[in-house]
Structures are given as C-alpha cells and as structure tokens.
C-alpha cells in the first residue's frame, strides 16, 4: 500500500465528477491527501472538477466501475451510480450493473489492497417506509419490480455484498445511507425536487409539485453530508454501519417550494401533477447513531443552504447564456 512509503493518503473516489463526489474530493485535497477520481461521465461532469486539474495531488481516470480497475490506493470511497430518478431510469439495467458489478469490483480491489472501503448507500433502501423516522435496523418496504427498483434494489444488493466481504474476508467496510442532499453542482436537469424548483423559479416557470405536495423530505446540505462521510471513513474499524447521514428536520414539498420562491424572489405559480409510482410519502432519518458514534449532526439550515444553491444556479444560467 502506498501509505507505507508516504504519510499522505492516496484515496480513490468513484463517481468523483458527480455532485457529491466532487465536493468530497475538494475536502480530501484540502486535508492534504492525494485523490484518484474515477468517473465514466454518464451523469458526472468535467465542469465539477475543472478547477482541480492544476493540482498535483489530483488525478482523473475516465473509467466505468462495471469493469475491474487496477490502481494502488489507501482508501476507497465508492460513490459511482446515477442517483436521480431521471438518470437511473434512463438505463435501468446499467444502473443495477453499476451498483452490483461496481461494488464487486471495488470490493475486490479493496480486498487485494487490504484497505478500507466506504459504500455510498441511500435512504432509498427503506423504500416507502412503514417506520418513521427511519432507523438503520428497519429492513425497508421496497417494491422489487417497480420503475425505481433498479436503484433501490441495486443499492440494497451492494450493501449485502459489503457485509458479506466483511464477514467472509474480514474486509474493513463502511456503509453510509445518504438522505436527500442538495447544494452547488447539482445537475440542473436531474429531476430532483431542489434543482427542479430552483431552475423553474429562476426561469419564471411554474413549479411542478407531484401529488398534493404534502409528502415530506429532509434536506441535508452537501458540506454537512461530506463531513459525515469523512467522519465515518475515519471512525474505528468496528463501526461498519450502516449509518444514516442526513438532516432530521422534515419539510413538506410545498414548504420547500415556498422557501425557494422567496429566495429567488419569483412569482412562479405551483402546478400539481400525479404522484409517480412508489414515490415515498415520508423520508426522515433517525441520526442517533451518527450523533453517538461519529459526533456528527448537520449544522447548515435549509434557509442558508438554499441561498448558496440558488446562487450557484444563477451563475450556471449566466454562463449558459454567454
């Protein structure tokens, strides 16, 4: 392993050109580590990592995790997978392959290198939950054959693989269940509610609300999320997870729409359309384990996080217009 010859860690981040991955890489580089960013750019963007190419501790590899990868690193963060319904439903078979084959390939690499590996799992493993808020011990309420199943079941299978590698090969694993995250560098057309509402409000278009807008979500700002991810990776080896990382403060979709309209100073109207199949009615993490084991809790309020995210999308639209 490289760390035997160098006190600086060399870290692999798959999906590193994506929204979460690029913020994670920024933080790791700020802490003095070397980073190998792997992405096939299906949903990731070079724009998210353009500012890093002059950094001698940063390396980009265009690669699909569905195929084996041979590199020498000290830690692996496995974030590769389309994460928004529009993207993961575009090619559902490939989405499942990315979660399952990608996990197998990265676990195999970690096994060979004898290094720690973190899986970016998701609150979608809980499906449309019958338990609220969601605790890690809850097994979920997931439709295995619906339009969202490629993502939900792919991530569930990836968790299975991680724990089987841990039990069978004594691999050092970390499994993190990510709840709704937002912030700068979100894809403008990813179909997620925060980016949808902001883009529609900035363009003066009606805000599209699915159902009555009474369904709830808990929104975690990306900086808080990355902090939780790094704390989990750096925790003692007996803390494997899964651990929920998200903001436990719950908002209805209509409340979110109102907050964004105020920040954008938009007079856009609201348009209500039918709720998609298997769309969860409630989503709120129980973060007791994160507080106890990682000394982690989110610090950035929705009001401040939305302000930063709106500023990013304003700049994005300005660049697109010029």
Q: What is the pLDDT of residues 22-81, one digit of tens each?
A: 999 999 999 999 999 999 999 999 999 999 999 999 999 999 999 999 999 999 999 999
State the residue for tokens 């968790």: 159
pTM, two decimals, is 0.93
Q: How confident is the model at residue 116 (pLDDT cuts 50, 70, 90)?
A: very high
CA-derived radius of gyration, the chain: 19
Mean pLDDT of the region 305-313? 95
Q: What is the pLDDT of residues 67-93, one digit of tens each?
A: 999 999 999 999 999 876 777 788 899
Percent of the chain with pLDDT over 70: 97
Contact call for residues 185 and 23 (beta carbons, < 8 A): yes
Contact call for residues 21 and 45 (beta carbons, < 8 A): no
Count CB atoms within 10 A of the CB of residue 56.
6
State the residue for tokens 């299975």: 160
Annotated catalytic residue 151: yes
Q: Structural domains in the chain?
A: 7-182+221-248+284-299 (3.40.50.720)
Question: In whole angstroms, what is the distance from residue 322 CA to residue 319 CA?
Answer: 5
Instruction: State how far the alpha carbon of 111 is from the alpha carbons of 78, 172, 238, in Å.
Output: 14, 9, 17
Question: In Å, how far from its chain's centre is CA 317?
Answer: 24
Percent of the chain with pLDDT over 90: 79
Catalytic residue among 151, 165, 182, 221: 151
Contact call for residues 155 and 88 (beta carbons, < 8 A): no
Q: How confident is the model at residue 102 (pLDDT cuts 50, 70, 90)?
A: very high
What are residue 113's phi and psi, to 5 degrees? Answer: -85, -10
Mean pLDDT of the region 190-219? 91
Mean pLDDT of the region 203-217? 90
Question: In whole angstroms, what is the distance from residue 97 CA to residue 47 CA?
Answer: 26
Question: In whole angstroms, what is the distance from residue 120 CA to residue 102 CA?
Answer: 12
Count CB atoms within 10 A of the CB of residue 135.
15
Q: What is the pLDDT of residues 255-282, one digit of tens each?
A: 999 999 999 999 899 999 887 776 777 7
DSSP state of 124: G
Question: In Å, how far from its chain's centre is CA 284?
Answer: 16
Residue 305, pLDDT > 80, answer yes
Question: In whole angstroms, what is the distance from residue 226 CA to residue 290 CA?
Answer: 13
Phi-psi region of 261 (alpha: psi -120 to 50; beta: other; left: phi over 0): alpha
Q: Which helix (H) or strand (E) holds 24?
A: helix 19-30
Query: Mean pLDDT, the chain, as a whole number?
Result: 93
């Amino acid at each position: 392993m490289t760390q035997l010859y160098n006190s600086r860690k060399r870290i692999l981040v798959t999906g590193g050109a994506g929204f979460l991955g690029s913020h994670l890489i920024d933080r790791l580089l700020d802490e003095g580590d070397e980073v190998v960013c792997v992405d096939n750019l299906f949903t990731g963007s070079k724009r998210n990592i353009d500012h890093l190419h002059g950094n001698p501790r940063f390396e980009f590899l265009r690669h699909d995790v569905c195929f084996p990868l041979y590199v020498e690193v000290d830690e692996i963060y496995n974030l590769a997978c389309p994460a928004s319904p529009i993207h993961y439903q575009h090619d559902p078979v490939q989405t499942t392959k990315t979660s399952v084959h990608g996990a197998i390939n990265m676990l195999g690499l970690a096994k060979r290198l004898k290094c720690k590996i973190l899986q970016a799992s998701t609150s979608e493993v809980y499906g449309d939950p019958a338990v609220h808020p969601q605790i890690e011990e809850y097994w979920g309420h997931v439709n295995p054959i619906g339009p969202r199943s490629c993502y939900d079941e792919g991530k569930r299978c990836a968790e299975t693989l991680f724990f089987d590698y841990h039990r069978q090969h004594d691999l050092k694993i970390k499994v993190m269940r990510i709840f709704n995250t937002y912030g700068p560098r979100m894809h403008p057309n990813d179909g997620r509610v925060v980016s949808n509402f902001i883009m529609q409000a900035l363009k003066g278009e009606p805000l599209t609300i699915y159902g009555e807008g009474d369904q709830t979500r808990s929104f975690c700002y990306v900086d808080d999320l990355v902090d939780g991810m790094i704390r989990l990776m750096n925790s003692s080896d007996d803390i494997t997870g899964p651990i929920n990382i998200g903001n436990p403060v719950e908002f209805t979709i209509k409340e979110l729409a109102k907050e964004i309209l105020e920040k954008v100073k938009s007079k856009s109207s609201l348009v209500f359309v039918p709720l998609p199949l298997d769309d969860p009615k409630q989503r709120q993490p129980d973060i007791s384990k994160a507080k106890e084991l990682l000394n982690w809790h989110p610090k950035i309020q929705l009001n401040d996080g939305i302000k930063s995210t709106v500023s990013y999308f304003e700049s994005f639209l300005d660049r697109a217009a010029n």
